Amino acid sequence: MLKYALLGFLSYQSLTGYELEQHIRASTAHFWHARLSQVYMTLKELEADGLVASVVELQESRPDRRVYSLTPAGQAALHTWLAAPLTERSLAKDPLLLKVFFSAAAGKDALLRQLRIQLDLHRQQRTVYSGDLPGMAAELVASDPKLQVDALLWDAVRDFGARYEDLYVAWLEETIQKLERDFPATS
């Protein structure tokens, strides 16, 4: 799956592994992420499959860069993937919810501590979406009007992320309240 994310970014411009990881972190991280080491490995596999090609750019006073670009075969693979319909829901895995599910045995205090930490984290993440991300897309469109549709989709996906954090924050707040009221104090 990461393969396609990389092909997707490379369909806009040629990039190094390092830059690809930064793009991921800046835009898709809330629904798809990867470690740098995995990005490098995956690029190597893509090149072995002929879907990308690389050129080394020598730099003085900085490490050399290996710049990857999409081959015609890569372009084709990307389009094939985009055209193939997903006929199932995406299945989520959330360690926090798993833990909460079994936390009756953990005791009231431990569970509430847990949830308050998460509340902090999700409140923080929510601000990421209200920041200048919408503006970033707008700028790109201004610089290249061909990207108008692309920006529309980037925005839609970013909006999903914002709503997801809203949901998470609201659920945590309400669950904390409910537990303060109804979870008997650990004796």
Partner DNA sequence: TACGCCATGTAACGGGTTACATGATTCA
Partner DNA sequence: TGAATCATGTAACCCGTTACATGGCGTA
Please give the single-letter amino acid code of residue 110.
Answer: A
65 neighbors 59 (Cβ within 8 angstroms): yes
Which of 5, 46, 51, 77 is close enough to bind a copy of itself by CB under 8 A? 5
> Number of residues in contact with a copy of itself, rule: CB under 8 A?
68
Q: Strand pairing of 52-57 and 65-70?
A: antiparallel
Candidate ranges 13-21, 39-47, 51-59, 156-164; the one touching a copy of itself (CB under 8 A) = 156-164
Q: Tell me, residue by residue from 9 to 48, as one string, x for binding to DNA by CB under 7 A and - for no binding.
A: -------xxxx--x----------xxxxxx-xxxxx----
Alpha-carbon radius of gyration of the chain: 21
Asked if residue 23 binds a copy of itself (CB under 8 A), the reply is no
28 neighbors 8 (Cβ within 8 angstroms): no
DSSP 84: S
169 neighbors 123 (Cβ within 8 angstroms): yes
Q: Which does 41 bind (CB under 5 to 8 A by kind): DNA, a copy of itself, none?
A: DNA
At residue 12, the 3 state secondary structure works out as coil
Whose Cβ is closer to DNA: residue 30's or residue 65's?
Answer: 65
Which residue ranges make up the site for DNA (CB under 7 A)? 1-2, 16-19, 22, 33-38, 40-44, 59, 61-67, 93
